[in-house]
Amino acid sequence: MTLTNSDTWTAADSAALYGLDRWGDPYFSASDRGHVMVQPRGDRGGSLDLVELVQELQGRDLSLPLLIRFDDILEDRLERIHGAFERAIAQYGYGGRYQGVFPVKCNQQRHVVEELVACGKRWHFGLEAGSKAELLIALSLIDDPEALLICNGYKDQRYIETAILARRLGRQPVVVIEQADEVERIIAASQELGAAPLIGIRAKLSARSTGRWGSSVGERAKFGLSVPNLLATVQALRAANLLGELRLLHFHVGSQINDIAVLKDALQEAGQIYGELTRLGAPMGYLDVGGGLGIDYDGSRTASAASTNYSLQNYANDVVATVKECCAPHGIPVPTLVSESGRAIASHFSVLVFDVLGAGSLPGAVPPRQNDEALILRNLRDTYAAITATEVAVEASVEALQEAWNDALKFKDDALAAFRLGYLGLPERGLAEQLTWACCQAIAERLALLPAEAVIPEELRALPAALASTYYANLSVFRSAPDTWAIDQLFPVLPIHRLDERPQSLGSFADLTCDSDGKIARFIDPAGRSGRGQVKPLLELHSLRAGEPYWIGMFLGGAYQEVMGNLHNLFGSTNAVHLRLKASAGYQLDHVVRGDTNAEVLEAMEHNPELLLERLRVASEEAIGRGQLRISDARRLMAHLEASLRQTTYLQS
């Protein structure tokens, strides 16, 4: 028997439960039909039904798991960042402008970087590179002579010479000195080539920081120049006649700044250093505030790890106002403001949809009565009867439920002891366990019907979690959401359909890998009892229906996940598509990026798929010769192997 609450459940209830109306705004919402809707242009109109979209993509033979990239969202994020800075500049009467760059390391995929460069042209939006390969991307994709190309990271002579020569191509590379010894290489390269790059300096700020990336600042930070090094660098540039090329001061306080106070401290410190560099005779002109603009993953608007206690507009206001305050007293012209926001630009636009292959849960049903049941089993049946006899939705019955649960546990322990001593057989032990779970299930169902303010003992409160199911997900966490495993990152996860149905189960996800870490068992908790910004180990989910798919969306994962993902168990990249809303209606598929095939992941490990097949062909011929394999079965085996090599690494439904 399943008790159901007579009140109705709507998609709006799901939106609140999963926080969709908080972190999803303005791009994701729930329709009355209970589907996740995507508004790729934010609040400027147009929407797509994510479920219909997935169905149509499957019709094109694009199987799940599927990464859907909404390029309109990418563009909307760019517009929002520029809009926020433009408003702040107007509000504070800032006498300079804003000119951003995208840190390529955040998502190096060709179609993503190309899209950003194309959309960003109207603001002379540039790129930031942290390695030679990223520099190559940035140099060849940016053809706007006004766009900045910020060169960070460790640099050898070739990197520096490349940047100097690229200036002759009409690009604007700024070589940022991150390590004390880089200035010597810049001087040497400039003398060798008789030309200099635009130069920046990264300051190691002493400002305190918090959160996961807090160690990106402070005296022991990996990058940046301490004040003595900074002054020595200025001396060296002056001596080499290169101080006239020092244009930019850079700092970066770490990713996902949760607390705006951290940024304010850093801005003040950097603002003073900027003024000092001007007084020392550098022409300057640019202040690069780095990345770190955070994402509100759980929609709680708090300084907790998965959130931020500020909005995009707060951020822009603080940058603009603080820099102005630092420059004004000294009569220094305000700099062009540069930021290197990666996460804040690239998180929203990609949605990962995966299917659930099945669910495992503890048996909650009551097993049929056997003849001559042992006393322990009869006791458990009586306990179950007592539970189902309690009055429903009355707080007074809690005591009886607690008593029944104590009894059930006692009888289960008795059953175990009897089994160990040889008095109870394995089938009886199985029945005892089944009956105990049936008691647990019946109690949990009754607790769910109590009024919200009812006082429930902690032990009983934990019962629904004990009944939780494991949902088997057609995905590799290590490939598609590595930060959930590596750094306990939270991404919003929810079913993309059935949102108009009350979810009746609690569960977590297990992925396809043979690794016990391959799971998603930490979720945002927008409606948490203990307040906002909390984490819960189980998610409200629906029971699976035979013959019907159950599709789950993982949101806000467009930054860092793809490149950090690995080939654990040889699960490769998923299928990915780029799409845009059409001006009229509907959408257009701009790019389809097929996921890695099994042959490709094998080759990545230096295996030769053809050779592997050939060996198996020989082995099957031998088996045929020995009479152990029929020719028709051999043909079937080879056909499966060949088909698998051509297919993606995920399960086909």
Cα angle 105-492-652, degrees, rounded to a multiple of 5: 85
Q: Among residues 216 and 300, whose Cβ is nearest to ligand PLP?
A: 216
Q: Rounded CA gap, 326 and 334, in Å? A: 9
- Select the residue interacting with ligand PLP from 211, 342, 565, 572 (CB under 6 A): 342
Contact (Cβ atoms closer than 8 angstroms) between residue 17 and residue 540: yes
Nearest to 198 by CA among 137, 151, 129: 151
- Select the residue interacting with ligand PLP from 39, 152, 300, 350 (CB under 6 A): 152
Q: Is residue 103 near ligand PLP by the rule CB under 6 A?
A: yes
Q: Is residue 126 near ligand PLP by the rule CB under 6 A?
A: no
Q: Among residues 24 and 130, whose Cβ is nearest to ligand PLP?
A: 130
Instruction: Please enumerate in sequence order all residues whose Cβ is within 8 A of that of 368, keeping only pairs 6 or more positions apart, or say none.
Output: none
DSSP calls for 634-649: HHHHHHHHHHHHHSBS
Q: Is residue 255 near ligand PLP by the rule CB under 6 A?
A: yes
Instruction: State CA 365 to chain mean position distance.
Output: 37
Q: Rounded CA gap, 283 and 285, in Å? A: 6
What would the x/- binding string for ligand PLP be over residues 519 to 558, using CB under 6 A?
Answer: ----------------------------------------
- Select the residue interacting with ligand PLP from 80, 82, 343, 412 (CB under 6 A): 343
Stretch that binds ligand PLP, among 76-84, 335-343, 544-552, 584-592 (CB under 6 A): 335-343
Contact (Cβ atoms closer than 8 angstroms) between residue 38 and residue 57: no
Q: Which pair of tokens denotes residue 104?
A: 């390529």
Q: Among residues 197 and 558, whose Cβ is nearest to ligand PLP?
A: 558
Cα angle 8-13-19, degrees, rounded to a multiple of 5: 165
Q: Is residue 340 near ligand PLP by the rule CB under 6 A?
A: yes
Q: Rounded CA gap, 44 and 138, in Å? A: 31
Nearest to 555 by CA among 384, 400, 349: 349
The CB-of-343 to ligand PLP minimum distance in angstroms stands at 4
- Select the residue interacting with ligand PLP from 15, 51, 106, 499 (CB under 6 A): 106
Instruction: Please enumerate in sequence order all residues whose Cβ is within 8 A of that of 218, keeping only pairs 6 or more positions apart, or say none.
Output: 204, 205, 206, 207, 208, 209
What would the x/- binding string for ligand PLP be over residues 290 to 309, using CB under 6 A?
Answer: xxxx----------------
Residue number with the smallest Cβ distance to ligand PLP: 291
The CB-of-150 to ligand PLP minimum distance in angstroms stands at 8
- Select the residue interacting with ligand PLP from 105, 171, 381, 479 (CB under 6 A): 105
Nearest to 342 by CA among 42, 563, 123, 574: 563
Q: Is residue 278 near ligand PLP by the rule CB under 6 A?
A: no
Stretch that binds ligand PLP, among 81-89, 103-111, 309-317, 366-374 (CB under 6 A): 103-111
Q: Among residues 24 and 211, whose Cβ is nearest to ligand PLP?
A: 211
Stretch that binds ligand PLP, among 288-296, 424-432, 510-518, 548-556 (CB under 6 A): 288-296
How many Å from the N-terminal Cα to the C-terminal Cα in the chain? 31
Q: Among residues 109 and 256, whose Cβ is nearest to ligand PLP?
A: 256
Q: Among residues 56 and 269, whose Cβ is nearest to ligand PLP?
A: 269
Q: Rounded CA gap, 433 and 363, in Å? A: 9
- What does the binding site for ligand PLP look like in residue numbers (CB under 6 A)? 103, 105-106, 128, 152, 252, 255-256, 290-293, 340-344, 559
